[in-house]
Amino acid sequence: MEISLLSICYLIGSVTFIIGLKMLSHPETARKGNLIAAGGMSLAIFGTIFLYKDGGEGLHNYGWIFAALVIGTLVGTVAAKKVKMTAMPEMVSLFNGMGGACAALISVIEFQHYFRVSGIHGDQATVGIAIGTLLTIFAGVIIGSISFAGSIIAWGKLNGSIKDFSFKGQQITNIVLFVGILVVSGYLITNIDFTNLYLFYFVLVAALVYGVLFVLPIGGADMPVVISLLNSFTGVAAACGGFLYNNQVMLTGGILVGAAGTLLTILMCKAMNRSLLNVLIGSFGGNAAGNSQQAVQGNFKEISVSDAAVCMAYAHKVIIVPGYGLAVAQAQHVCHELEKLLTDKGVEVSYAIHPVAGRMPGHMNVLLAEADVNYDKLQEMEQANDQFKNTDVVLVLGANDVVNPAAKNDPASPIYGMPILEVELAKTVIVNKRSMKPGYAGIENALFFQPKTSMLFGDAKAALQKLVAEIKTV
């Protein structure tokens, strides 16, 4: 009866994951969906603790289990509440890495467990482990380790403590290392015994090294894609743990995360008009990325806050393009205030969201949702590009690479072919930046030197506050 009750808990948990993921597809239901999925996860966790029986015995070491639950809950809650919006991508990457580490440790522990229960003593070599179980263990170790190590490097890159790094022949080194991991794993799966046990730990260490080398050369502008890909890796590794424990809720959760992360990665690559292989081996967005691009020539012009306020107050249609600079300045709330002020004056205001704007998938959507911006005002790239030619003023707030015309007209540019927000089609473009320094991809932006573009320098929050004050007097 208890086992059946546990199965029901797992079934409910699996269903809540599916429902929660569905509700996450829309901002109005996302919060509720997150809570529903969290409730299902809590039910599955406590169901396992109190209802699981192995050979008639339940779990042991409840002190350790609940201590870990309390500590993890406290750390996670405090981190989530205190994290700044600019640091959200780092936290997501770090948490994702922890998931990969857990999945890898599950495989390591289960591998050691099978050796113990196989009765290995002294010169006894043969180990009775099913091929399917070994495949699952090695998949969990390899994928989980790559996800963990790669996510930690991504976390370091996002917070600025780790720089892009590559060396001559690195791609070949990566390929050789990965093939070596697969070959050794294949050998162990078909020839597992006590004498070559050390090779299992070689696979573990080699997968960690590969995870580091895998992410190190990838340029900063591709980090949203990398985070999404590593997230899918963690999901697959977690699903392997579900297979090992015959745990339906872990299996369902892992499959959902893996599938969602993979689909998101494909969609983001499509948004950049590039293949996933090109993202992984192209080192796009590195500091030297723009060395061969066309030289950007011309002079930029500045605009005063009062002139910008007049332009926007008397416009019929304004589109705001949020970027990482908006997140850095924590200016989402004053941006929403500007939007409401313009709307009260009869101006049609909307937001244009590029799929890879910011430092993680959906970064700008999360940023604006925090300020209670109406989701109906958010336009995807294709929709916004159809609207720019009929727009009086476009206000670009901290965005750079996603509005760079070089993606359309400079074949030598590293971002050539990437779909962008075609803000240059608007009648007037106002760009707010701290300085004329290149964006995250490290390349100059010809948009800033076009006749219809004016630069409004300064911190995004301070600039928007001054705009709001000026517009109130117009």
Answer whether residue 350 is part of any domain.
Answer: yes
Answer whether residue 199 is part of any domain.
Answer: yes
Answer whether residue 297 is part of any domain.
Answer: no
Residue 332 sits in a domain whose CATH number is 3.40.50.1220
Same domain? 157 vs 205: yes
pLDDT of residue 35: 94
Answer whether residue 50 is part of any domain.
Answer: yes
Same domain? 463 vs 400: yes
pLDDT in tens, the chain (474 residues): 445 788 899 999 999 999 999 998 777 788 899 999 999 999 999 998 888 776 667 788 889 999 999 999 999 999 888 887 777 788 888 999 999 999 999 999 988 887 776 654 444 444 567 788 889 999 999 999 999 999 999 998 888 788 878 888 888 999 999 999 999 999 888 877 656 778 889 999 999 999 999 998 886 667 778 888 999 999 999 999 999 888 889 999 999 999 998 988 888 787 766 677 776 665 444 444 444 455 555 678 899 999 999 999 999 999 999 988 888 888 999 999 999 999 999 999 999 998 878 777 778 888 888 888 888 899 988 899 999 999 999 999 988 888 988 888 878 777 777 888 999 999 999 999 887 777 655 677 888 988 999 999 989 999 999 999 999 987
Same domain? 133 vs 54: no
Residue where one domain finishes, among candidates 41, 64, 82: 82
Long-range Cβ contacts of 277-283 (<8 Å, 24+ apart):
279/218, 279/222, 279/225, 279/226, 280/214, 280/218, 281/171, 282/219, 282/222, 282/414, 283/164, 283/166, 283/217, 283/218, 283/219
Same domain? 368 vs 249: no
Residue where one domain finishes, among candidates 82, 116, 133: 82
- Asked if residues 290 and 413 have their Cβ atoms less than 8 Å apart, the reply is yes
CB atoms within 10 A of CB 151: 28
| Model confidence pLDDT, tens digit, residues 204-235 | 999 999 999 999 888 666 777 888 899 999 99
Cα 412–Cα 414–Cα 418 angle in degrees, nearest 5: 105
Give the type of residue at 206: A
CB atoms within 10 A of CB 313: 20
Same domain? 184 vs 327: no
Same domain? 78 vs 195: no
Same domain? 267 vs 118: yes
From the list 366, 355, 349, the residue with the least C-alpha distance to 399 is 355
pLDDT of residue 344: 93
pLDDT of residue 121: 44
Same domain? 415 vs 348: yes
pLDDT of residue 124: 45
Answer whether residue 419 is part of any domain.
Answer: yes
Range of the domain at 437: 305-473
How long is the chain? 474
> Active-site residue 386, yes or no?
no
Phi, psi of 354 (to 5 degrees): -85, 140
Q: How many helices (H) and strands (E) does the chain have?
A: 17, 6
Residues β-bridged to residue 302 = 455
Residues β-bridged to residue 373 = none
pLDDT of residue 44: 93
Same domain? 54 vs 107: no
CA dihedral 168, 169, 173, 175 (to 10 degrees): 130
Element (H, E) at 456: strand 453-457
Residue where one domain finishes, among candidates 82, 112, 144: 82
Same domain? 94 vs 20: no
pLDDT of residue 400: 84
pLDDT of residue 365: 84
Of 372, 401, 410, 459, catalytic: 401
Answer whether residue 23 is part of any domain.
Answer: yes
pLDDT of residue 56: 63
Same domain? 64 vs 138: no
pLDDT of residue 325: 85
Answer whether residue 425 is part of any domain.
Answer: yes
| Model confidence pLDDT, tens digit, residues 257-304 | 999 989 888 887 877 666 777 766 654 444 444 444 555 556 788 999
Same domain? 64 vs 142: no
- Does the global pTM surpass 0.95? no
Domain count, the chain: 3
